[in-house]
Amino acid sequence: MKKYRTAILLFAIFEVVAVGLWLLSGNLFLLLNFSYIGICLGIGSALTAAGKSWARLFVQFTVGAYILVFLGLICHENMQIEGFWYYLLSGIVGAGTLHYFIAKIFGPLLFGRGWCGYACWTAMVLDLLPYKRHNGPRKCIGYIRYIVFALSLALVVVLFLLGKATPSVMFRLFIIGNIVYYVVGIALAVAFRDNRAFCKYICPVTVFLKPMSRFSLLRIHFDEEKCIRCGKCREVCPMDVEVDSNSRKKKNATECILCHNCTRACPVKALK
Ligand code: SF4
Ligand code: SF4
């Protein structure tokens, strides 16, 4: 039962959020939405704990595709960062704002970059590409994420100033934004032979995710006494994390997406 602690905790937290938001707002959709996500995360986490290598894929498609197709394309909620700025500047507390506060701004204190590993609909597709492990040093272009972040805010501010910040414009922006993300993400993955190049250098959401995830409660724990220094954990890490260290300041410490490739690869169970 102990190994399913995280699964139970994740489900319980999302259920508390779901019930709390429902009682506060009277909006049944919030209860159903967050309960569904909590159930998917709980099942995915339990499957991960049971050693199923496809567990993450299960969550990526049940949560990521749900957000993209149902919330985005069917319900017309702009779930991209421009949508967050739009709802924030409009003073609307909707699925878009709640999603950002829970999954990307405060949630990382609990589950770090779990969003990137399990729920992002862009990474859901990028992870299907063949470049699962990038060999070689990181490119020095991580600053691009800050430029994209600032441009996304500037774009929405300009739309407000021009009086064009309407739900239909934001919906079209959501479609265009996703197409751009997929095209750029796939092109970068092929160019750098690295599925996660978009996440490492371009994605503006990481500007929110990285600072909080440094203090994440959920993290990979390393047992130095068991380690035989084989280096297999670093070989399989898609985010170039210095896995064999417990320091919160280790190399790429804020990049871990909790995929558990390293824990599965370690021959002496020094990681958990
Ligand atoms: S391989 Fe390990 S350290 Fe690297 S991202 Fe996955 S869980 Fe994190
Ligand atoms: S895979 Fe395990 S034993 Fe090998 S270096 Fe990493 S933590 Fe140590």
Q: Are residues 224 and 209 in the same domain?
A: no
What tens digit of pLDDT does each residue of 122-167 get?
Answer: 999 999 999 988 778 889 999 999 999 999 999 999 999 999 999 9
Q: Are residues 149 and 248 in the same domain?
A: no
Q: How confident is the model at residue 102, as a pLDDT?
A: 87
Angstrom distance (rounded) from CA 64 to CA 156: 24
Q: How confident is the model at residue 200, as a pLDDT?
A: 96
Please report how the helices 167-192 and 81-90 are oriented relative to each other, as an axis angle in degrees rounded to 10: 150
Q: Is the CB of 67 under 6 A from ligand 1?
A: no
For residue 101, the tally of other CB atoms under 10 A from its CB is 15
Q: Are residues 164 and 261 in the same domain?
A: no
- Of 169, 184, 213, the position where a domain reaches its end is 213
Q: Are residues 149 and 197 in the same domain?
A: yes
| Residue 105: both structure tokens together | 């701004």
What tens digit of pLDDT does each residue of 218-255 get?
Answer: 899 999 999 999 999 999 999 999 999 999 889 999 99
- Of 213, 236, 262, the position where a domain reaches its end is 213
For residue 95, which amino acid is it?
Answer: A
Q: Are residues 199 and 261 in the same domain?
A: no
Predicted model pTM: 0.90
Q: Are residues 122 and 242 in the same domain?
A: no
Helical (H) or strand (E) element with 97: helix 95-99
CB crowding 166-197: b at 16 or more within 10 Å, else e: eeebbbebbeebbeebeebbbebbeebebbbb
Q: Are residues 114 and 228 in the same domain?
A: no
CA of 198 to the centre of ligand 1 (A): 17
Mutate to test the pocket of ligand 2, among 222, 225, 233 (most ligand atoms within 8 A of CB): 233
What's the structural domain count of the chain? 2
Q: Is residue 96 part of a domain?
A: yes
Q: Is residue 47 part of a domain?
A: no
Q: Are residues 134 and 225 in the same domain?
A: no
Nearest to 126 by CA among 138, 117, 113: 117
Domain that holds residue 232: 219-272
Q: Is residue 170 part of a domain?
A: yes
Mutate to test the pocket of ligand 1, among 60, 134, 243, 247 (most ligand atoms within 8 A of CB): 243
Q: Is residue 177 part of a domain?
A: yes
Q: Are residues 134 and 115 in the same domain?
A: yes
Distances (CA, A) of 4 to 42, 46, 221: 9, 6, 16
Q: How confident is the model at residue 92, as a pLDDT?
A: 81
